[in-house]
């Protein structure tokens, strides 16, 4: 099981567990766990509503954003240094014990 620690837009924190699944993505987990993630585009890096900041345990390196993710992040007014689109992050062990903050599209 992978455990992540999520802070929602109101500042409440909750830990969530899920199975490793490289064909799934983090946005799907956040939606399933009823966090405020509208995911309007359905996960194609087209809306920015699944925007999060993420700090991995031990600063485990995540794959760099693809061009479409980088482009969308550039359009967001609330981008921070460790911003990612959760729909572009696969459900791998690299996420275990990550600290995540839901930022949305600002």
Q: Which is nearer to ligand FES, 40 or 80 (CB)?
A: 40
Using only C-alpha atoms, the chain has a radius of gyration, in whole angstroms, of 12
Answer yes or no whether residue 16 interacts with ligand FES by CB under 6 A.
Answer: no
Q: 48-71 burial by CB neighbour count: b if 16+ within 10 A, else e?
A: bbbbbbbebeeeeebeebeeebee
Least distance from ligand FES to the Cβ atom of residue 3, Å = 22
Q: From the CB of 52, what's the least distance to ligand FES, in Å?
A: 10
Interface ranges with ligand FES (CB under 6 A): 27, 39-41, 43, 45-50, 72, 85, 87
């Amino acid at each position: 099981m992978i455990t992540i620690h999520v802070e929602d837009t109101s500042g409440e924190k909750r830990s969530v567990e899920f199975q490793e699944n490289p064909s799934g993505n983090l946005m799907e987990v956040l939606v399933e766990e009823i966090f405020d993630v509208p995911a309007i585009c359905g996960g194609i890096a087209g809306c920015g509503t699944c925007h999060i900041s993420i700090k991995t345990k031990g600063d485990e390196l995540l794959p760099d954003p693809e061009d479409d993710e980088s482009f969308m992040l550039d359009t967001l007014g609330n981008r921070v240094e460790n911003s990612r689109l959760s729909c572009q992050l696969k459900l791998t062990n690299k996420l275990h014990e990550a600290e995540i903050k839901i930022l949305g599209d600002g």
